[in-house]
Structure 1
Amino acid sequence: MKNKNKDLNMNQNNPIANENDAMDPNDLFAPDWKEKSLSRTRRRQERIKRHDQDYEPLAHSVPSKQESKDIVQIDPSVLQQDQNSTKQKDLDETIEQATIASKLESSMNQAGTKTHKRPFLVPALLLSVALIGSSLGVSWYLGKDATGNTLATLYEEEKTQYNDYANTIHSLTKPEGWSDQAFENLKFAALQAYDQSQLNTLSLALEGNIDAKAQADHLTSVSSQNGIEAFKNLFTKPDSIPMNVINVAEHEDMIDFVMSYGQSAAIDPNQVTLGDVTQQMPDLKTFDPAWGYIDYGIGCFAANGAAPTVIADVFSFCLDDPTLTPYRVAQWANEAGYALNPVVSADNNIVLAASGQFGVNLNPLLNYSTLITDQIAYGYPVILITGTIEAPYFYAVYGLDEAGNWLAYDPLSASSPVVLNPEQTEQTLIKAYALW
Structure 2
Amino acid sequence: MNVTVSNTTILNGARDTDSFLYINTENTIRVGFTPNRKATFNPGTLTQWSDDDNFNPTGTIIYLFGLEGLISSGWDWLRIKVDEDWNVSIWQDPQRGGYLGLVPTRRHSLAEGFSLPLTIDGLKIRDIKDQAAATLTFLYYNVDGITEGGSLNHQRAHVSVALREPPDVGPLPALTDDAGYHCRLATADAFGADPDVAWIKTTWPEQTAVPNEFTVDIGPGDGKTPVHAGKRTSLLLSFATADTEFGALASRADLANARVTADEGADGWTVIPHTDEQTPYWKIVIPEGRPLRGRLRFSEVVSHLEPGWSDLLVQYRGVPGYRDGQFTGRLYKYGPPYPSNVSFSIFKPRHDPSSGGYLRYSWDGFQEGHVYFFIAGPRGFLVRADVPYDIPDAGIHTDYVFRSSPQGCEAILRAERGPDSLIYIGSVPVPIIYV
Structure number with higher strand proportion: 2
Structure number with higher helix proportion: 1
* TM surpasses 0.5: no
Larger radius of gyration: 1
Return the structure number with greater relative CO, CA threshold 8 A, min gap 6. Answer: 2
TM-score w.r.t. the length of structure 1 is 0.19
